[in-house]
Structure formats: C-alpha cells, structure tokens
C-alpha cells in the first residue's frame, strides 16, 4: 500500500517501452480511420460533383413544372341521355377527372401503403428506399427492387418516355423534387390518381372504377379499392380480367400491407380478402343507341376540332330517352325477325369444321359468349350434334337443347334438314338454368331486311329515340336520316290537307272509278286501286281512312300537285318532290326523319318545331358552349290540324291502321306501301309524341306479296307504343277530334286493307356503296 492508501494490483505489468521506429497501435488505427474517411469524403465529393453536374446537365433538357396546374390530360367526351346517364363516349384515352374529395379514403390509403409508404415525409425521392434498392440490386447482380415514389411515377407519366435507363431515373428524381417543391401532397396524389393507366385502355381511377366494377368511384368498397391499387404496379399483369388468381394474390398483399400500416383492422382485412375479384367485364352494349351516337359525332365534327371531341372532355346532353330507345330497338328487331321468318329459312350458315376439320368444338370460342346470357336473348350457338328430332347446341359453358317445335317456322320436318355438326347459327334463349348450365333454345336467323324507327316529342321537336337499322355492327348506314325512299300512302294526308286549306270538307265526295291521265309527253298514266276494287262515289274522309288510290289522284289533280308540294315544304320536307300525278300517291323519295317531323305538326295543333337531338354542350369545366333554342313555325290553323287528327284517328277506327285499336288509347296515324311492296311504312302519333317506322331492303327489292305497311311496319309501332303508354296512359286529343264517321261494312272489302301507289315516272334512286358513310 502506498502512502495514499491505494493498493495496486499485483498482476499488473507496465508495457515495455516502444522500441525505436515502432508506431503505437491505437495511433495506427486512428490514422487508418482518417485515411478511409478522407477517401470516402473524396469519393462523396467527386460523386456529389458529378451528381450536381449531371443534375444541371439534365435540368437543361427538362420541362418546367410550375405550370402543372394548367396541365390538361386527355379526357373522355361523354354523350348523355336525357336523364344524365352515358350512352356513348369519344376518346383517345378513356379518362375521367376527379377532385381530391371524390377519391375514396380506402383507395388513397391502399396506394400509399403499397406504392409509397413514406409519401408524406419525403421530398419526392425516398433516400432510404434508394439505398435499400441499391444494396439489394448490387447483391443480386440485377435489378430486383425499385425505388420510385408516387411523385417519381407521376413525373414519368407526365414528362418522360417508358425507356428503362439510368438517365431516365435521374430525370425522374429531378422532376419529382421540383414537383414536390411547387405542389401540395394532395395535389400530387390527385394528379397521380387521374393520370396512371389501369389496362384495357383505361386511364385514371374514375374510369377504372367504372370499367372493372361498373360503378362510380365514390361507391367502391375496401376490397375494390385495394384491387385498383394492386393493378397500378403492372396493369396488364395484374388485371383481374387477364389473370384473376394473380390479381387476387396482389390485392390480398395490398390488404395485408394496409393492415400492417394501421389503415385497416384485422377484421376488415379478412372480410375484404374473402370477396372475389371481378372476372367478367361489366356488360356494356356498345350498339345501344349507336345510330344516335354516330349522329352526334357527325355533328360535333362539323362544329368542333378533333382535339376538342376526343381529348378535352366535352359533355354532350342529348334528348334521347333511354327507355324509349330500348323499346324502339327491341320492337324494330323483333318485328323484322318476324317478317324474316315469314320469308322462310335461307340456310346461310358458317360451319367451323368445314373451315378447319381439326377444330375442337368443346373449346371453340365465340365473341358472343363473352356476354351475360338472359332469357329472350338471340345469340350465336355452335351445333355439337344433330338428329332428326333434336339438336345439342353449345353456347359458352352452357348446353342447349333444340327440338322440332322450335323449327316449325322453317317448314322443315327434321332438324337435320337445317343443322349439322359444326354449324354456327342464331338461337333465342327461351329458358336458362345457371346452376345446371343448361338452356332451351329456339332457332332464329339473321334478317336480311333493314328498318328504321324515329320518335319525336311534338311540343319541343326533341328526338326521343332513333334506330337507323337492324344491326349497327353490320350496317352503319342510317336509314332513319340518310335513306330516302318512296313514301307510298303516308304522303296522302298532304293531298287531303291541301284540299282542306282550299276550303273543301272531309265530307265532300270524290269519284272512285278508273280514269286515265294524258301527260305532257303524250304518255298515259292510269292509277289503280289495290286489288282492283272501286267504290263509286266516296267521301274524302273514307278515301283517306281506307287509303284508296284513284280518288286521291283525282283530288290531287283538282287541288294542284304544285300546291301539294308547297304544303309539304311548309311541313319541313326538303327532299325532291316531282310534280307528277303519282306524287299524290307518295312516289317521291323522302326520309323517315322528314316524314315524322312533318306528321308531328298535326298533334301540335299546326305548329312545326324543328327536330333536334342535342340540348346543350359543356366543356370540362361546365361552361356552356352551345344550347339549343327551339325553332317554331306556324304551318296550318289549329282547326285544320284538328280536322286532320280526326280523319287520321278514323284511319285507326276503321281504316288501314285498325290494328292500332288494340292499344285502347288516343292514337292516330297512316300506313304506307309503295308499288311492288318495296317499302313499308307507318307513322302515328299521340297528343305528346310522333313515331314512325320504315322497313325495306338496302338494295331495293320487293318485300313480298301483301307485305304492306299495315302488316310489317304497324305491328312494330304498336309494340313500341305499348311501352310508351305504360307511363302515359291518360293522354287525350281535343274533344273536337273524335272520329265522327264509321262507314257501313262492304262485303267485298277486307278490314284494314292496305293500298299501293303507282310506279313513279322518274328513275328510282338506288342506294350505292358511296352513300354509306365510314364508321
């Protein structure tokens, strides 16, 4: 113990003094650390200098981001029905813009969790993720992990090409920091949600919500939001329509990460994981109102630039009524099918085995089978086997049975007279069992005949429904607006109207006896009645109601054909009308649009309102670019209009349109058939709407004997009116328009008889290929 009382440890030995030239080990270690530090500092300085130099070099070529708030991505133009629901779209990229408040919280959280969990703490570049990715990629010897933030992804989508390179990544990082410097996190996320692709031509989360789930973005639940967030990484790879299993795995990963990050509870996660992913695209009928939408497109192209139409998100508010449009399409198609069956079986079937004998019928795909099946639907089926009394038909995953009763209309005795193995034919689904995957079907065939339908609102001129043909996919020619055909007897009301305007009465008599007119070129014209029946003296009222030819021509010559043409012009008919005697019988070629608009003057008490189909057009910000203003013409006195309503109600009461009495409603109208039964018409009206039907072939040929307007067109109109009258059952015409006369029944005539006009004295116009507009 020393004098201070401290006892040193006995086993401690002082180190020997360093020999000359030896360096103390701790000092050597410190020198090594300093050298490494200086080396790293040098590397960092050089790297920093290089990075700064590259940054300045790249910044020279990079766009400015300060004006990003004015950036306008390509946005879909929507065509809307009268209730605001979409009926069509025009676009380069299918995108709808949403505001921050329209983005569901679950989608926001799902994207943050799976794509960029440090979104709210980094400055556009997540340095921690950069270092982790660099280490992982270095150890793997290849790129196995990325480090793109939401802001970097946005910068790539906005400004850069999809190339994979170091230079592009540096540009992403530079742009991301600039974007973060100028915009809030909320703005950045909203721009990102509106910009990113979601596969199948969809851009932005709003369009993706409608495409994958057939609902507005704001209505998405947790599982659906997670599914959309899962798609972002690689849209085509993770689309549930392309690979449902991979999509579900990715979606469930998103849900687990959301739970780990505290966005959802464990119970919410499990409940969402139990929900299936969408595997069948929501059925959207691209042919619904297709002729109407095409008419809108043609108008827009006349008034606006292609950029405005396809990229700037116009909203076009139309007059189309969805329910009436659906009724018009259904009624026209069904009526044309019924007519086509009357013409018999044509045996024009494609056989897949004739094209390729090795085709596996059990796995053969057909585009029709992507649709959802429903009772009443007409769809393509593949004949798997056929016997005398039955056939087995495959429609997608369903097996359908066809028996002899469903082929009676073909007038064939055996199924094998019609079908053989490998045939593709049309079938109507009459019964459907989803559990057993079985159907009962009836044989159909695709009609060759075409038709058109148009309905307008009398008071406003609004076009409520338009069908330009049987099938838009096969025929783009709009027979409602583009086709001009001989009108036949539906032109006769203008002859009798001209007489009323000249002071004659519906009770004045006309002579119904054969006569001959010598024309200026010394040719003779002898009008004749349908089936050669003549009645002697007959009132104007009965002559029009029963659509009798000879007295109509006599009246036309009496009042003057030029005067009739003048009246027709006042009714808005602009097509060429020739000053021939046969004009009184509808020899001139006029469009369905013109005739329906003209007929609407009668129930509108003498006023003609020009037809229109667009109420207003707005830009993406809601500014009104144009708005419809009604154009009204006073055509005839109210009293005269009422007289015409009266006599055209008598057409229904006892004339050629007597079938329409089955509606038990206030309706009026006129049938029309031209010579050789080439065109069949019916135009009728209620106090509120006027609707017309035309049927015929594109390349003009006869519809067949006795295929009159009363037989072919009128049933289509009646079927449509049943739908309309369900919501308008109590419409009535003015009291002074009630039918006032019912003639006694003649033994030699048939109730509901239809008549046909003579052949016109000018060359018939043919529809040629050049008339058909491009799609």
Yes or no: say if 754 and 709 are a contact pair by the CB < 8 Å rule.
yes
Q: Which residue has the tokens 């419809």?
A: 628
| Enclosing H/E stretch for 352 | helix 352-355
Angstrom distance (rounded) from CA 276 to CA 273: 8
Angstrom distance (rounded) from CA 344 to CA 672: 24
Question: In sequence order, what are the residues at sequence separation of 6 or more whose Cβ sits closer than 8 angstroms to the Cβ of residue 248?
Answer: 240, 276, 277
Q: Which of 311, 331, 406, 489 is catalytic?
A: 489
Looking at the DSSP bridge assignments, the partners of residue 680 are 673, 695
What 3-state DSSP class applies to 448? Answer: coil
Angstrom distance (rounded) from CA 306 to CA 477: 22
Angstrom distance (rounded) from CA 487 to CA 757: 9
Give the Å distances, CA to CA, from 260 to 108, 220, 534: 16, 22, 92
Yes or no: say if 712 and 703 are a contact pair by the CB < 8 Å rule.
yes
Angstrom distance (rounded) from CA 334 to CA 720: 11
Q: What is the CA radius of gyration of the chain?
A: 39
Question: In sequence order, what are the residues at sequence separation of 6 or more whose Cβ sits closer than 8 angstroms to the Cβ of residue 115?
Answer: 150, 153, 229, 232, 233
Yes or no: say if 577 and 583 are a contact pair by the CB < 8 Å rule.
yes
Q: Which of 78, 115, 210, 594 is catalytic?
A: 115
Residue 710 is classified by DSSP as I
Work out whether the CA dihedral 342, 344, 348, 354 comes out positive or negative. positive
Residue 46 is classified by DSSP as H
Q: Where are the beta strands (DSSP E) in 503-639?
A: 509-512, 517-518, 524-525, 536-539, 589-590, 607-609, 614-618, 624-627, 632-634
| Enclosing H/E stretch for 331 | helix 322-342
CB atoms within 10 A of CB 164: 8
Active site residue 489: yes
Question: In sequence order, what are the residues at sequence separation of 6 or more whose Cβ sits closer than 8 angstroms to the Cβ of residue 466?
Answer: 289, 291, 292, 295, 320, 325, 328, 453, 454, 455, 480, 481, 613
Angstrom distance (rounded) from CA 241 to CA 202: 13
Active site residue 163: no
Looking at the DSSP bridge assignments, the partners of residue 511 are 537
What interhelical angle do 244-260 and 266-273 show, nearest 10?
170
User: What's the half-sphere exposure (Cβ side, CA atoms, 13 Å) at 18?
Assistant: 6
Residue 502 is classified by DSSP as T
Yes or no: say if 727 and 720 are a contact pair by the CB < 8 Å rule.
no
The bridge status of strand 536-539 relative to strand 614-618 is unpaired
Angstrom distance (rounded) from CA 196 to CA 230: 13
Yes or no: say if 172 and 152 are a contact pair by the CB < 8 Å rule.
yes
Of 345, 347, 342, 344, the C-alpha closest to 420 is 347
N-terminal to C-terminal alpha carbon distance within the chain = 112
What interhelical angle do 549-559 and 561-570 show, nearest 10?
90
273-292 burial, b at 16+ Cβ within 10 Å, e below that, comes to eeeebbeeeeeeeeebbbbb
Q: Which residue has the tokens 């507005």?
A: 216
Angstrom distance (rounded) from CA 448 to CA 347: 12
- The residues that are catalytic are 115, 489
């Amino acid at each position: 113990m020393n004098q201070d009382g401290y006892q040193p440890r006995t086993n401690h030995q002082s180190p020997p003094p360093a020999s000359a030239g030896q360096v103390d080990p701790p000092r050597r270690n410190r020198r090594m650390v300093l050298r490494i530090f200086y080396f790293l500092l040098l590397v960092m300085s050089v790297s920093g200098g290089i990075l700064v130099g590259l940054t300045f070099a790249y910044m020279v070529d990079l766009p400015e981001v300060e004006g990003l708030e004015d950036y306008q991505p390509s946005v879909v133009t929507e065509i809307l029905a009268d209730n605001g629901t979409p009926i069509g779209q025009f676009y380069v990229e299918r995108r709808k813009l949403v505001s921050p408040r329209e983005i569901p919280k679950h989608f926001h959280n799902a994207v943050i969790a799976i794509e960029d969990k440090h979104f709210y703490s980094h400055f556009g570049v997540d340095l921690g993720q950069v270092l982790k990715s660099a280490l992982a990629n270095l150890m793997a010897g290849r790129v196995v992990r990325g480090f793109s933030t939401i802001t970097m992804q946005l910068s790539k989508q906005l400004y850069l090409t999809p190339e994979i390179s170091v230079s592009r990544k540096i540009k992403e990082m530079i742009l991301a920091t600039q974007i973060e410097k100028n915009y809030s996190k909320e703005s950045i996320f909203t721009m990102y949600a509106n910009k990113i692709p979601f596969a199948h031509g969809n851009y932005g989360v709003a369009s993706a919500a409608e495409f994958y789930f057939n609902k507005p973005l704001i209505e998405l639940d947790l599982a659906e939001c997670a599914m959309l967030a899962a798609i972002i990484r690689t849209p085509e790879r993770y689309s549930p329509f392309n690979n449902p299993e991979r999509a579900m795995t990715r979606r469930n990963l998103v849900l687990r990460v959301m739970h780990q990050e505290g966005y959802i509870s464990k119970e919410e996660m499990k409940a969402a994981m139990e929900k299936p992913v969408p595997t069948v695209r929501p059925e959207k009928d691209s042919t619904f109102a297709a002729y109407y939408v095409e008419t809108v497109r043609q108008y827009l192209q006349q008034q606006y630039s292609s950029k405005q139409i396809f990229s700037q998100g116009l909203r076009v508010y139309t007059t189309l009524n969805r329910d009436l449009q659906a009724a018009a399409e259904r009624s026209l198609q069904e009526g044309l099918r019924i007519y086509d069956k009357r013409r018999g079986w044509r045996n024009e079937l494609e056989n897949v085995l004739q094209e390729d004998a090795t085709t596996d019928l059990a796995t053969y795909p057909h585009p029709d089978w992507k649709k959802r099946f429903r009772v009443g639907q007409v769809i393509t089926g593949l004949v798997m086997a056929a016997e005398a009394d039955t056939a087995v038909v495959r429609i997608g995953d369903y097996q359908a049975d066809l028996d002899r009763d469903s082929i009676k209309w073909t007038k064939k005795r055996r199924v094998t007279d019609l079908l053989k193995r490998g045939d593709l034919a049309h079938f109507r689904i009459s019964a459907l069992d989803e559990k057993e995957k079985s159907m009962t079907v009836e044989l159909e065939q695709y009609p060759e005949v075409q038709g058109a339908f148009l309905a307008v609102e009398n008071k406003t001129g609004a076009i409520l429904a338009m069908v330009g043909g049987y099938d838009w996919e096969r025929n783009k020619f709009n027979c409602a607006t583009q086709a001009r055909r001989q009108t036949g007897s539906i032109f006769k009301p203008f002859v009798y109207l001209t007489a009323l305007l000249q002071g004659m009465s519906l009770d004045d008599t006309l002579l119904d006896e054969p006569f001959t007119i010598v024309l200026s070129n010394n040719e003779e014209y002898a009008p004749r009645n349908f089936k050669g029946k003549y009645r002697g003296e007959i009132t104007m009222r009965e002559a029009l109601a029963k659509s009798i030819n000879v007295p109509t021509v006599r009246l036309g010559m009496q009042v003057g054909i030029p005067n009739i043409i003048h009246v027709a012009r006042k009714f808005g008919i602009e097509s060429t009308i020739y000053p021939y005697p046969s004009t009184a019988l509808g020899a001139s070629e006029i469009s369905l649009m013109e005739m329906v608009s003209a007929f609407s003057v009668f129930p509108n008490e003498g006023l003609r309102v020009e037809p229109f189909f667009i109420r207003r057009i707005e830009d993406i910000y809601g500014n009104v670019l144009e708005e419809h203003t009604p154009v009204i013409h006073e055509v005839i006195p109210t009293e005269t209009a009422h007289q015409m309503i009266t006599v055209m109600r008598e057409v229904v009461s006892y004339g050629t349109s007597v079938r329409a009495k089955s509606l038990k409603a206030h309706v009026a109208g006129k049938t029309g058939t031209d010579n050789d039964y080439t065109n069949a018409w019916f135009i009728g009206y209620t106090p509120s709407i006027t609707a017309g039907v035309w049927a015929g072939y594109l390349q003009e040929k006869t519809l067949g004997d006795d295929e009159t307007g009363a037989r072919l067109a009128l049933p289509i109109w009646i079927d449509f009116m049943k739908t309309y009258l369900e919501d308008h059952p109590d419409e009535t015409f003015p009291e002074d328009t009630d039918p006032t006369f019912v003639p006694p029944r003649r033994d030699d005539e048939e109730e509901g008889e239809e008549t046909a006009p003579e052949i016109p004295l000018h060359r018939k116009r043919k529809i040629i290929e050049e008339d058909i507009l491009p799609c």
